[in-house]
Structure 1
């Protein structure tokens, strides 16, 4: 094959070879849940098949922390043992929920894979939730077992949950040791649910996004495909296992870390280097240095904090790829990264996606991002993107509308919420993202993300959830929450609170009131207390664009 001098043409040529008839990633169109989707012709049917295949990587590093190292073989054995314990001691079986409420640890990952061995559904609760939010999650998904670290276990004591709570520090390791050698398997169908992760809900309650075995196997295959693409573009033979080493800095209850980092490494053979605890620049960079990290998918806030330090104190020469995930980044910030961080100069990418889409819907390559800094890229393998008007009709290039996505990665739906699922996914499996943008020359440009959504440091914050909490305060008549620009976080949360008497309550009192009810990142940091009513339109809806802070 003769590669074209035009990088885009070369990529298209290589993609055609890899995905065409007889290619290692041959694609075909099949009916999935009643809709035609582009899928790989040769693929595994379940996550447990990925786990079984991972034993081929033997003693290679899979999970690495500052003080622990777990090989692929050790991980597979431990996941099988934990699955045996969950089945025998706690009766966990197909379709049961196994919840994790913990900070990032190898035990979090082991619990996820143990659930897959049993055909159970792993549920990742947000480790920053307050007691009230945790109680909602427990009631919503009704887990048979909860695995929690010591800090979060304390929050479970006063909840209604009376099932077993297994500590990541003590019970999980003991169970693995006691059931060594066991390795149960429960057959599942490709479209059976595998995992539930929560995203903030526009109705004021978190929604449980359900992804199937098909979804997550497809995401893993996509990451393997990108390895093949990268090798071929560089004129190298695609070989496995991969020698890449991925830095994990975001929580495992996000798709960026679970679906797109931890899970795919089982079939690529690459290592996951897991940072634990709060994001401390020196500790993170020392980990990169020591473990020779090659790839990092960072929230822009984290990348911004890196730039506050003298990078000359660290050997970051192993870094070969940097992606900005979870929140928009400005062209000016991208340029600052390129000027300070060598990897960003040649290998900075960004993407667009959401929890419901399973992985990125579009990705901007380094060259494309440098040329078009406001784009979020082109659709990835297997993804269809349409921009639609208010009537659901596709619009021409350059015309703004709602971004709609269809792919084998898109969620099954929302847990125990048929109405929300029907509102999000149509009969042809198109996901209405609620985000707005335009297509031009095959590139997607965002113009707004869910008109009311606040993106604070990579976390999605829906105003109505905070407004609902504020409504519980006896002095509050009404409120409006919105995002305002913030140098470090991208956006910070601001609240305008209407009261009868402006001296009836203080910002500190309101801040404490919300903090008792919601996770810290949802607590407004800027407050306006006023006796003037909020601006509303003819139908009574608050007109946020007319609110002035």
Structure 2
């Protein structure tokens, strides 16, 4: 059967339409592209000047317009170039919370043709060190809180602490340094964990990041076309920015897509709290909010919900985890002015853009599905022999688009494992196609999704197995009313006679927390002395472990079936 691909019908795609298509060669392969498109993030940056004195970002008491932002980027990029020699291909790491400086630094780096290395702000020193050694940046930019975590690391490079050297002290300018940038030049490195449990550096091009922006612009335009409206008639939104910039959702969603649409992003700094979010919605008259992970339940359980005026909200969407009908109903009741639109998308750091997604009534009518293939993307389900599967049969999900990552940085073998000779990308996930919809088999996906944060169990297992009291371990997903899922650990002990559940859980939790980010620390613990159940090939049977823990309480000693 032919592969599944998007074939939207729209006047937007006609030869004279704003989203007309053309076939071009990308990295040696033919792909459909939008004919009229930006060719670099630098071009996108320049286009934002048309929004003039409209506010681009609000960060506490700091408010910057599109014009002010451009002038700051021009000045900071010149400083990076002149004082630190940053130029095409150089890597500059950013290790900070969501703040205006993060955004300005990102645009400044990519406008020079350099590569912004987005370090995960949750990382411990050890996790940062691995990513640093892997990507070898020429310069590190960050905030005091995160840089303080690195006190014991000897970084052989310049470090700019924004508390010591405020970005605002750098004189603004009117023009950018003169640099030529190709569509397929690298722009960003984001990090993802794989089956080894160590972060891999995903190298993403300007074409890839702009592909995320442009395909989403098309989806917005198509939705407006269906309502008899044009994209030009769209009113700018005020968006509550809650997604971290070191994730694709925050980087491409808040920093890039909002910029392309002329929207205003209101940043919520630090850990999410419902009361803090509601305060910002009231103060800034926020119109649009995407609730990630467990934010929906947290908002509904907030005692202060009725104290805030949230009548400005016009659109509430969801991402990062499925949304229950109970939560959806509750949000519709509490925010009557907002159109609460359940939606879901399927993609990864490696796919860069979102190959599959849908929302609204289509999503409601097909609970459990992941969506339809987006424009300029193709999708196949393949069996273990590489043959395409018929509808309804599970297999590995492969996607193809001109926007996929360039490669895993400094890891040729891993890159070759996920790309075939036509640049089809193996996602590593298992799913099936039914009635034009993709259904992802979540049980086949050895990943835990905690409030939109991806947790790969093998990372935690490697850490636990290094403890002297542990023979081996397996980490599984435990359902959670707020976070969706949290990690639970089944630990095979070396000496059951000294078993003290309270002492041991505290000890192991501290052990994991000393080596990994806090959200990766298991919240449920189960203990055993018999080996983990495995199949004939030696793979741990996690479904059997889940079955054995169903009737147990955290801290229990359980008997594992063999």
Rate the CA distance shift 1:87–1:242 in 2: closer, same or farther, 3 A. Answer: farther
Q: Is the Cα–Cα contact under 8 Å of residues 323 and 342 in structure 2 kept in the other structure?
A: no
Q: What is the match of residue 121 of structure 2?
A: 127
Q: What is the match of residue 161 of structure 2?
A: 167
Q: CA deviation at 1:346?
A: 4.8
Unmatched runs of 5 consecutive residues or more in structure 2 = 1-5, 550-562
Give the distance between the partners of 1:393 and 1:332, measured in 2 at CA.
41
Q: What is the match of residue 210 of structure 2?
A: 217
Rate the CA distance shift 1:360–1:340 in 2: closer, same or farther, 3 A. Answer: farther
2:183 to 190, 195, 198: 190
Task: Confirm or deny that 1:280 pairs with 2:273.
Answer: yes
Q: Once structures 1 and 2 are overlaid, which stretch shifts more, 536-545 or 513-522? A: 536-545
| Alignment of structure 1 residues 69-218 onto 2, 5 Å | 69-174=63-168, 176-177=170-171, 180-181=173-174, 183-218=176-211
Q: What is the match of residue 270 of structure 1?
A: 263
Q: Is the Cα–Cα contact under 8 Å of residues 241 and 269 in structure 1 kept in the other structure?
A: no
Give TM-score scaled by structure 2 length. 0.91
| Alignment of structure 1 residues 52-451 onto 2, 5 Å | 52-174=46-168, 176-177=170-171, 180-181=173-174, 183-239=176-232, 242-309=235-302, 311-342=305-336, 346-448=340-442, 451=445
Rate the CA distance shift 1:346–1:265 in 2: closer, same or farther, 3 A. Answer: closer
* Residue aligned with 2:458, SS: helix
1:520 to 499, 505, 518: 518
Unmatched runs of 5 consecutive residues or more in structure 1 = 1-10
Q: Once structures 1 and 2 are overlaid, which stretch shifts more, 381-390 or 123-132? A: 381-390
Q: Is the Cα–Cα contact under 8 Å of residues 316 and 339 in structure 2 kept in the other structure?
A: no
Q: Is the Cα–Cα contact under 8 Å of residues 364 and 375 in structure 1 kept in the other structure?
A: no
2:487 to 473, 477, 493: 493
Q: CA deviation at 1:526?
A: 1.1
Q: CA deviation at 1:469?
A: 1.0
Runs of 4+ in structure 1 over 6 Å off: none
Q: CA deviation at 1:289?
A: 2.2
Q: CA deviation at 1:462?
A: 0.9
Q: What is the match of residue 543 of structure 1?
A: 541
| Alignment of structure 1 residues 452-491 onto 2, 5 Å | 452-491=446-485
Give the distance between the partners of 2:70 and 2:362, measured in 1 at CA.
39
Q: CA deviation at 1:478?
A: 0.9
* Residue aligned with 2:232, SS: coil
Q: Once structures 1 and 2 are overlaid, which stretch shifts more, 213-222 or 388-397? A: 388-397
Q: Is the Cα–Cα contact under 8 Å of residues 20 and 35 in structure 2 kept in the other structure?
A: yes
Taking only aligned residues, the RMSD between alpha carbons, in angstroms, comes to: 2.1
Rate the CA distance shift 1:448–1:270 in 2: closer, same or farther, 3 A. Answer: same
Give the distance between the partners of 2:280 and 2:144, measured in 1 at CA.
25
* Residue aligned with 1:225, SS: helix
Give the distance between the partners of 1:340 and 1:394, measured in 2 at CA.
46
Deviation per CA, 1:39-97: give whole Å up to 9, x if none: 10121211111111111111111111231111111111111111111111111111111
Q: What is the match of residue 10 of structure 2?
A: 16
Give the distance between the partners of 1:412 and 1:316, measured in 2 at CA.
42
Deviation per CA, 1:285-334: give whole Å up to 9, x if none: 12122222222222121122111136443333332332222233445544
Q: CA deviation at 1:172?
A: 4.0
Give the distance between the partners of 2:234 and 2:193, measured in 1 at CA.
37
Give the distance between the partners of 1:513 and 1:167, measured in 2 at CA.
29
Q: Is the Cα–Cα contact under 8 Å of residues 258 and 264 in structure 2 kept in the other structure?
A: yes
* Residue aligned with 1:256, SS: helix
* Residue aligned with 1:82, SS: helix
Q: CA deviation at 1:174?
A: 4.9
Give TM-score scaled by structure 1 length. 0.93
Give the distance between the partners of 1:245 and 1:202, measured in 2 at CA.
39
Give the distance between the partners of 2:459 and 2:39, measured in 1 at CA.
38
Q: Is the Cα–Cα contact under 8 Å of residues 296 and 327 in structure 2 kept in the other structure?
A: no
Count of paired positions: 537
Task: Confirm or deny that 1:25 pairs with 2:23.
Answer: no
Q: Is the Cα–Cα contact under 8 Å of residues 186 and 206 in structure 2 kept in the other structure?
A: yes
Q: Once structures 1 and 2 are overlaid, which stretch shifts more, 85-94 or 360-369? A: 360-369
Q: Is the Cα–Cα contact under 8 Å of residues 24 and 30 in structure 2 kept in the other structure?
A: yes
